Amino acid sequence: MKDNQQNILNYVKNYNAGKYDSPDVTVQIEAGWYDWFCKDESLYRKTKKLTNKLKKILGSTKINYIDNYVFFKNNCPGDGSLYDDFRICDMKTGDVIYTITPRSGFNNKKGLAEVWGKENKFEKALVSGTWKDVVTFFMGK
């Protein structure tokens, strides 16, 4: 994971410049994919969707765009369907600060957007609801 870490500011600049605009799996790993259960060909589309979500919370004071990086994960819950999340992490320690799930795949949370965070030691979701609720959590609107 350390090899492809870049702060969020650089990630977004590279994304906007088209650096990850390829379905090639090595390009998508460079974009920040860490783990997935979906087909490799699906990562490109997922990168676009998740990056658009990330961009919606750019400017939040809860995220340090210089000292934090983002990575992407496709999850396979034992009770539900595949779903994606992205994680905001500390560049120095690698610790996850937030796990942001735009749409959960767990059967009991099907479709809910959630934010889990270090501020409550990931004991329960900081936000559980719609994507708009997630944006409000980060942006205060």
- For 24-66, how does the pLDDT look when each residue is reduced to its tens digit (9 = 90+)? 999 999 999 999 999 999 999 999 999 999 999 999 999 999 9
pLDDT per residue over 106-126, tens digit each? 888 878 999 999 999 999 999
Q: What is the CA radius of gyration of the chain?
A: 14
Range of the domain at 132: 2-139
Q: Give the bridge partners for 116, in sequence order.
A: 99
pTM exceeding 0.85: yes
**How many domains does the chain contain in total?**
1
Gap between the Cα atoms of 126 and 98, Å rounded = 10
| Neighbouring residues of 113: CB distance < 8 A, sequence distance ≥ 6 | 101, 102, 103, 104, 127, 128, 129, 130, 131, 133, 134
Instruction: Tell me the one-letter amino acid at 141.
Output: K
